[in-house]
Amino acid sequence: MSGAGPDWARVRADFPALRQQVRGKPLVYLDNAATSQKPQCVIDAVRQYYELHNANIHRGVHWLSEQATIAYEGVRKKVARFIGAPDPRECVFVRGATEGINLVAQTFGRTRIGKGDEIVLSALEHHSNIVPWQILCEEKGATIRVIPMNDAGELRMDEYAKLLSPKTKLVAVTHVSNALGTVTPIREIARMAKTAGATVLVDGAQAVPHQPVNVKDIGADFYIFSGHKMCAPTGIGVAWAPLALWNSLPPWQGGGDMISSVSFEKSTWAEVPAKFEAGTPNIEGVVGLGAAIDYLSAIGMDRIAAREKDLLAAFEAAILRVPGARIVGTARDKAGVASFVLEGIHPHDIGTIADREGVAIRTGHHCAQPVMTRLGLPATARASVAFYNTPEEAPLLEAALRKVTEVFRA
Ligand code: PLP
């Protein structure tokens, strides 16, 4: 990319899925918070892996296995650089954010959290950062406490301060809300948790694809994200923690690759990260993640963040021009997500009619039912942007929403 910044039209042209017509209309893809589209280079990297380098990793002495291992471990280094991790071994490959959080619950949680302990979550959490902790709490007799939010969707830091106590063993909070787009004050959340002696997990599923992230700078102990929301394939993600923390934890899943030696009497474990990567991993997913990181890095995460801020403003303005529209989630610091309602119209109807116009938005509780409950809504419609969206798509969303209102108010 030149110093003048990317040519966004050319960037968009990298995404074959965006060239298609849907229901006879040009596709306007605004479901990026659910999953991103994939650029040609990622698709090519996966195809090339199968055409040239497909083999199982770590175990083979033959050339192909060596090539696959080099590719796989090379991506670990890329991931580390991308998120500011001091050592690539700190980056454990998992299936996605959900599996990463479950990994932490089943290792850190099961060994460090006990009866009477407390886990602090926030009102903004995705179900993936609630349910693993509920399962753990049921087993251990621990309790979940929740940082409340205000009507704008911002966390109440004064209330958070009151929740912290010597009983707090873990604070697990999202970096960016998938339902409302709120960017949480994650550094401050982590700092306060550490001062209280708690361990910090950050769910970065909606942050890493949209802004520069430096895990050391944030001050988290665990930082988790998914590849498929950042132009990589599905089925791959990363769980980061400092090496010493990973080393202090027991393995989770048992099987091939995570052992040092096995006998029927006793087995011993491989070094981190292999200790947490049992079985044949998603090698193609890792290769695709590497290509996605190269692609995003070439554009620049700071440029992506700035572009998406402008796009979000354009899409929110377009939504608000529609009679009866209200944006849900009006935090001062927001990223990429415009949740909204149209007065008197169920969000599912909005989504269905918008789809007829070629506009793909998401409707429902967005796997964040407590957010909806707090706001007194059964569901919202959600337009979520990525850098490859265009300002010209904002009026197309507006036109689709106007069609919705015409159908319902005729
Ligand atoms: N956390 C947040 C904030 C999310 O938005 C999502 C997915 O939408 C997840 C966790 C779960 O990610 P995955 O389904 O990739 O495991």
In this structure, which residue's CA is closest to atom 5 in ligand 1?
A: 178
To test ligand 1's pocket by mutation, which of 176, 367, 369, 384 has the most ligand atoms within 8 angstroms of CB? Answer: 367
Task: Tell me the C-alpha distance between 288 and 71, whole Å.
Answer: 10
User: Which atom of ligand 1 lies nearest, measured to the CA of 98?
Assistant: 16
Domain ranges of the chain: 8-30+300-409, 44-297
Give me the torsion for CA of 16, 22, 25, 28, rounded to 10°. Answer: -60
Per residue of the chain (410 residues), give pLDDT as tens.
445 689 999 999 999 999 999 999 999 999 999 999 999 999 999 999 999 999 999 877 899 999 999 999 999 999 999 999 999 999 999 999 999 999 999 999 999 999 999 999 999 999 999 999 999 999 999 999 999 999 999 999 999 999 999 999 999 999 999 999 999 999 999 999 999 999 999 999 999 999 999 999 999 999 999 999 999 999 999 999 999 999 999 999 999 889 999 999 999 999 999 999 999 999 999 999 999 999 999 999 999 999 999 999 999 999 999 999 999 999 999 999 999 999 999 999 999 999 999 999 999 888 989 999 999 999 999 999 999 999 999 999 999 999 999 988 77
**pLDDT for position 350:** 95
Q: How many angstroms is it from 249 CA to the middle of ligand 1?
A: 24
Q: What is the pTM of this model?
A: 0.97
Task: Tell me the C-alpha distance between 108 and 126, whole Å.
Answer: 20
Which amino acid is it at 224? I
Q: Which residue has the tokens 């572009």?
A: 307
128 lines ligand 1 (CB under 6 A): yes
Residue whose C-alpha is closest to residue 386's, from 104, 1, 38: 38
* Backbone torsion region of residue 171, taken as left when φ is above 0, otherwise alpha when ψ lies between -120 and 50, otherwise beta: beta
Task: Tell me the C-alpha distance between 129 and 220, whole Å.
Answer: 15
User: Which atom of ligand 1 lies nearest, measured to the CA of 128?
Assistant: 10
Tell me the sheet residues that pair with 118: 143, 168
Q: In what order do the strands lie in the sheet with 380-384?
A: 325-328, 337-342, 380-384, 362-364
36 lines ligand 1 (CB under 6 A): no
**pLDDT for position 59:** 78
Task: Tell me the C-alpha distance between 249 and 251, whole Å.
Answer: 7
382 lines ligand 1 (CB under 6 A): no
What backbone torsions phi and psi does residue 357 show, to the nearest 5 degrees? -95, 5
178 lines ligand 1 (CB under 6 A): yes
To test ligand 1's pocket by mutation, which of 226, 230, 236 has the most ligand atoms within 8 angstroms of CB? Answer: 226
Helix or strand run (H / E) with residue 315:
helix 301-320
206 lines ligand 1 (CB under 6 A): yes
**pLDDT for position 61:** 87
Q: How many angstroms is it from 223 CA to the middle of ligand 1?
A: 13
205 lines ligand 1 (CB under 6 A): yes
CATH 3.90.1150.10, applies to 8-30+300-409:
yes
Q: How many angstroms is it from 99 CA to the middle of ligand 1?
A: 10
Count how many residues are written for the chain: 410
Q: How far is CA 266 from CA 54, 179, 249, 347, in A?
A: 33, 46, 18, 55
Residue whose C-alpha is closest to residue 133's, from 98, 160, 82: 98
Task: Tell me the C-alpha distance between 71 and 66, whole Å.
Answer: 9
In this structure, which residue's CA is closest to atom 6 in ligand 1?
A: 205
DSSP 124-139: T--GGGTHHHHHHHHH
Find the angle CA(154)-CA(160)-CA(164) to the nearest 5 degrees. 160
Q: Which CATH class is domain 44-297?
A: alpha beta
Q: In what order do the strands lie in the sheet with 237-240?
A: 91-94, 237-240, 222-226, 199-203, 168-174, 118-122, 143-147
384 lines ligand 1 (CB under 6 A): no
**pLDDT for position 4:** 65
Q: How many angstroms is it from 401 CA to the middle of ligand 1?
A: 27
Which of the residues are catalytic?
367
102 lines ligand 1 (CB under 6 A): no
Q: How many angstroms is it from 224 CA to the middle of ligand 1?
A: 10
